[in-house]
C-alpha cells in the first residue's frame, strides 16, 4: 500500500498531535510505503523558514521534517513544469492505486483514488 502525503495533511497531523503512521497501519492490512514529493518537502521548508509565520506554524513544519525523517519515506520528483503542487500530485496518482493523504477539498474532488484524511480531532478515515 503506497500513500502519498500532502503538505496540509502532515502539518495538521502535527498540530493536532495525530500519529498518522500508527493510525494508518490500523486502517490497512498491508504494509504501508509512505511517499513524499520533493515539492512537499520544499513547501515544508519554506514554511519553516518564512518570516512573519506564527511560531506554532514554523514549529509544526520543523516537527514535520523530523517525523518524515523517522518514517523514511520514498522521496519522489513530480514531473512537469507546473508550479502548482496539487496539480502535480493529482497527475502522479492518476491510474494508480496510490492513496492520497490530504485534507484539501479540491484535491479530494479531483481524484478517484482512495483518500486518507483526518476525521474529527484525532482519527483518520479512508474515503
pLDDT tens-place string over residues 22-31: 999 999 999 9
Where on the phi/psi map is residue 95: left (φ > 0), alpha (ψ -120 to 50), or beta? left
pTM of structure:
0.93
80 confidence band (pLDDT: 50, 70, 90)? confident
What tens digit of pLDDT does each residue of 91-126 get?
999 999 999 999 999 999 999 999 999 998 889 999
For residue 3, is pLDDT > 90? Answer: yes
Where on the phi/psi map is residue 87: left (φ > 0), alpha (ψ -120 to 50), or beta? alpha
Asked if 105 contacts 5 with a C-beta cutoff of 8 angstroms, the reply is no
For the segment 33-41, the average pLDDT, to the nearest whole number, is 97
C-alpha pair distances (Å), 53 with each of 41, 46, 58, 60, 61: 17, 10, 6, 11, 11
Report the alpha-carbon distance of residue 75 to residue 78 in Å, rounded. Answer: 10
**pLDDT given for residue 83 in this prediction:** 84
Q: What is the CATH number of domain 2-126?
A: 3.40.50.1010
For the segment 15-44, the average pLDDT, to the nearest whole number, is 95
Nearest to residue 101, comparing CAs of 120, 85, 117, 112? 117
Amino acid at each position: 500500500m503506497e500513500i502519498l502525503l500532502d503538505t496540509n495533511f502532515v502539518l495538521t497531523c502535527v498540530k493536532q498531535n495525530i500519529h498518522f503512521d500508527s493510525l494508518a497501519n490500523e486502517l490497512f492490512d498491508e504494509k504501508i510505503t509512505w511517499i513524499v514529493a520533493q515539492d512537499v518537502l520544499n513547501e515544508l521548508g519554506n514554511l519553516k523558514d518564512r518570516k512573519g509565520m506564527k511560531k506554532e506554524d514554523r514549529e509544526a513544519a520543523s516537527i514535520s521534517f523530523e517525523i518524515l525523517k523517522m518514517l523514511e519515506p520514498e522521496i519522489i520528483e513530480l514531473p512537469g513544469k507546473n508550479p502548482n503542487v496539487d496539480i502535480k500530485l493529482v497527475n502522479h496518482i492518476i491510474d494508480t492505486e496510490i492513496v492520497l493523504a490530504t485534507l484539501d477539498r479540491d484535491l479530494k474532488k479531483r481524484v478517484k483514488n482512495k483518500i486518507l484524511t483526518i476525521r474529527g480531532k484525532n482519527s483518520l478515515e479512508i474515503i
